[in-house]
Amino acid sequence: MSSGFPLLSLIIWLPILAGVAVLATGGDRNAQMARYLALAGSLAGLLVALPLYSGFDPLLGSMQFVEHHPWIERFNIHYHLGVDGIAMPLILLNCFTTPLVVLAGWQVISNRVSQYMGAFLIMSGIVNGVFSSLDAILFYVFWEASLIPMFLIVGIWGGPNRVYAAIKFFLYTLLGSLLMLVAFIYLYTTSGGSFAILDYHKLPLPLAPQILIFIAFLLAFAVKVPMWPVHTWLPDAHVEAPTGGSVVLAAILLKLGGYGFLRFSLPIVPDASQYLSGMMITLSLVAVVYIGLVALVQADMKKLIAYSSVSHMGFVTLGFFLFNAYGVEGAMVQMVSHGFISAAMFLCVGVMYDRLHSRQIADYGGVANKMPVFAAFFMLFAMANSGLPGTSGFVGEFMVIMGAMQVNFWYAFLAATTLIFGAAYTLWMYKRVVFGAVANPAVEALQDINRREILILAILAAAVLWMGVYPLPLTEVMHTTVDELLAHVARGKL
C-alpha cells in the first residue's frame, strides 16, 4: 500500500525536529520544559508510527509506504524510503522505546537535560531512517549519523571510564562501516551507477566478489550486532553508558546489525552467504555458548547483561544463516523480544544504580525485602531473559532452535544449551541481588520504585508477556517478506 502521504519521512523527521526543539530550550534552567517537550515529541513519534502497522499489507512482498525523490543527481543517489515486513517491526520497536528512555532519564539526568533528551530524540529519528532507507548512501548516512548522538551520550553522561568507552565504541563501529562504504561504491560501479539497494538485490555477481563484499558487510554488521570476536566494545560501552544509553544501545542499535544482514548480506550476496554459512553459524554458536559462560562469572550487573545480550544476539545471527523460515523468523522475533527484555533488564539495573550508585552484585542482597514491587518486575524480566515459556524470550529462541534442528542436530543441541546457561547466569544474579538477608545498610535504606518507574516497567512487562503468549501479530507481518527473501537466497545469483 503506497499512499501519497509521506508517512516514513514524518516518522524520521518528526523526532529529529522535536530533538532540535528540545535542544533549543537551552540550559538547565529550562530543564522541566525540555523534559516535557521530549516526552511529547517521543509520544508523537510513536503515534505517527502506528499507521505503519495498521496500514501495512502483510501479504505484499514488495516495499510499502515508498517515497522516492532524487537527492544527489551527480551520483544517482535518491531519497528512497520504504519498509517491508522486516523493517516495519523494528521501526515500531524503536518508536516504542524512545518514550521509555525519556521517562527513564526523567529525574536521574539533572545535568544538561536538554542535550540529553535532544540526543535521544534525534537518534530515534536517525534510526528510523536506517530501517527505512532503500538507497545505499542514504542508508549509510543514517547509519553513521546514529553514531554521533550515541558517542555523546556515552561520553557526557557515562560512568568514570566513559571517554575510553565512547571512543572505542565510535572507532570500532566506524572501522566496520567504512569498509561497507567501499563495498557500496564497488557495487555502484559494477551495477553501472546505481545506489538503489533493490537493484543490488537483482545484480548478478560471481562468487569471488560476492565473498569480498560479504566480508566487508560482515565487518560492519558483526561489529554492530556484535558477534564474537568483535564484541569487546559492547561491555565497555554498556557499563559506562547512562541507563538510557544502555537501553537504546541494547534495544535498538544492536538491531541495526541484524537488520543489515537481512537487508544487505543475504539478498545481495546470497551465494557467498551460503558458502560462508558454516563460519557464520560457528561464530554464532561460540557467541551463544562461550559468551554465555563469560556472563556467568561477571561481578558487575551491567556487564553481565551486556554479555547476555551478545549471547542472545548470537541466536539472531544463527537464525539468519540457517536459511529456513523458522530460523529467520525466529531471529526476527528474537530481535524484537531482546529489544524489550534487554531494555527492561538495563532499566532494572538502572533503578538500583540510581539509588545505590553501584552495579556490583556483591553490594546488593535482600533487595526484595525493601523493594517488593520492583523485585516482582525484575523477576519477570529475569525469567524472560532466561527464556521461560510464556515470555517473549522463549518464542524466538524456540523458533531458532527448531530451525537449527532442521539443519543439524548438533547446532540445535549447542544452541539449546543457552536455556541452561541463560537461566544460570540470570537467575543466579537475581538470587544474589534480590534474595537473602539484607546485606548492608545501604540496601536497608532503599525505597521501592515510584509511579513513574512502575509505569515504565509495567509497559515493558506487558509487551514481554503479550509477545510470549501471542506473537502472531508480529510473525504475520513478516511472513511474506521472509518467504520471498529465502526464495531469493535459494535461487542464488550464479
Which of 53, 186, 275, 290 touches another protein by CB under 8 A? Answer: 186
Q: Residue 109 and residue 158: Cα distance in Å, rounded?
A: 11
- Work out whether 24 is an interface residue with another protein (CB under 8 A): no
Q: Residue 410 and residue 295: Cα distance in Å, rounded?
A: 23
- Work out whether 428 is an interface residue with another protein (CB under 8 A): no
Q: In this structure, what C-alpha cell is assigned to residue 351?
A: 533503578
- Which of these ranges, 38-46, 61-69, 136-144, 283-291, lies near another protein under the rule CB under 8 A? 136-144
Residues in 313-332 that interact with another protein by CB under 8 A: none
Kindly tell me which of 115 and 391 has the beta carbon lying closer to another protein: 115
- Work out whether 174 is an interface residue with another protein (CB under 8 A): yes
- Work out whether 290 is an interface residue with another protein (CB under 8 A): no
CA atoms within 13 A on the CB side of 468: 23
Which of 60, 66, 181, 419 touches another protein by CB under 8 A? Answer: 181
Is residue 359 within 8 Å of 239, Cβ to Cβ? yes
Q: In this structure, what C-alpha cell is assigned to residue 11?
A: 516518522
- Work out whether 414 is an interface residue with another protein (CB under 8 A): no
- Work out whether 72 is an interface residue with another protein (CB under 8 A): yes
Is residue 448 within 8 Å of 367, Cβ to Cβ? no
- Work out whether 215 is an interface residue with another protein (CB under 8 A): no
Q: What is the DSSP letter of 362?
A: G
Q: Residue 494 and residue 491: Cα distance in Å, rounded?
A: 9
CB of 71 to another protein, least distance (A): 7
Which of 47, 50, 175, 297 touches another protein by CB under 8 A? Answer: 175
- Work out whether 432 is an interface residue with another protein (CB under 8 A): no
Residues in 25-54 that interact with another protein by CB under 8 A: 26-27
Which of 17, 33, 178, 356 touches another protein by CB under 8 A? Answer: 178
- Work out whether 188 is an interface residue with another protein (CB under 8 A): yes
Kindly tell me which of 48 and 141 has the beta carbon lying closer to another protein: 141
CB of 179 to another protein, least distance (A): 7
Kindly tell me which of 17 and 174 has the beta carbon lying closer to another protein: 174
Omega cis (within 30) before 235:
no
Go through 265-298 and write b for each residue having 16 or more CB atoms within 10 A of its CB, e for each that does not.
bbbbbbbbbbebeeebbebbbebbbbbbebbbeb
CB of 186 to another protein, least distance (A): 6
What number of chain residues touch another protein (CB under 8 A)?
Answer: 36
Letter for the amino acid at 329?
Answer: E
- Work out whether 116 is an interface residue with another protein (CB under 8 A): no
- Work out whether 148 is an interface residue with another protein (CB under 8 A): yes
Letter for the amino acid at 312?
Answer: H
- Work out whether 494 is an interface residue with another protein (CB under 8 A): no
- Work out whether 13 is an interface residue with another protein (CB under 8 A): no
Kindly tell me which of 221 and 378 has the beta carbon lying closer to another protein: 221
Per DSSP, helices labelled H in 158-232 are 162-190, 197-202, 207-224
CB of 73 to another protein, least distance (A): 6
- Work out whether 376 is an interface residue with another protein (CB under 8 A): no
Residues in 95-114 that interact with another protein by CB under 8 A: 112
Q: In this structure, what C-alpha cell is assigned to residue 85?
A: 515486513
How far separated are the first and last CA of the chain, in Å rounded?
33
Angle (nearest 5°) at CA 373 between 367 and 375: 40
Kindly tell me which of 80 and 432 has the beta carbon lying closer to another protein: 80
- Work out whether 17 is an interface residue with another protein (CB under 8 A): no
Instruction: DSSP for 92-103, please give it.
Output: HHHHHHHHHHHH
User: Residue 225's closest CA among 253, 248, 257, 252?
Assistant: 257
- Work out whether 71 is an interface residue with another protein (CB under 8 A): yes
Kindly tell me which of 127 and 137 has the beta carbon lying closer to another protein: 137
- Which of these ranges, 38-46, 66-74, 279-287, 373-381, lies near another protein under the rule CB under 8 A? 66-74
- Decide: residue 261, CB within 10 A, 0-12 exposed, 13-18 middle, 19+ buried: buried
- Work out whether 14 is an interface residue with another protein (CB under 8 A): no
Catalogue the long-range contacts made by 365-368 (C-beta closer than 8 Å, 24 or more residues apart).
365/432, 365/433, 365/435, 365/436, 365/437, 365/438, 365/439, 365/440, 365/443, 366/434, 366/435, 366/436, 366/437, 366/438, 366/439, 366/443, 367/433, 367/434, 367/443, 367/446, 368/434, 368/435
Residue tagged 558487510 (cell numbers): 217
Which residues of the shown chain bind another protein in the complex (CB under 8 A)?
26-27, 71-75, 112, 115, 137, 140-141, 144-145, 147-148, 151-152, 155-156, 162-163, 166-167, 170-171, 174-175, 178-179, 181-182, 185-186, 188-189
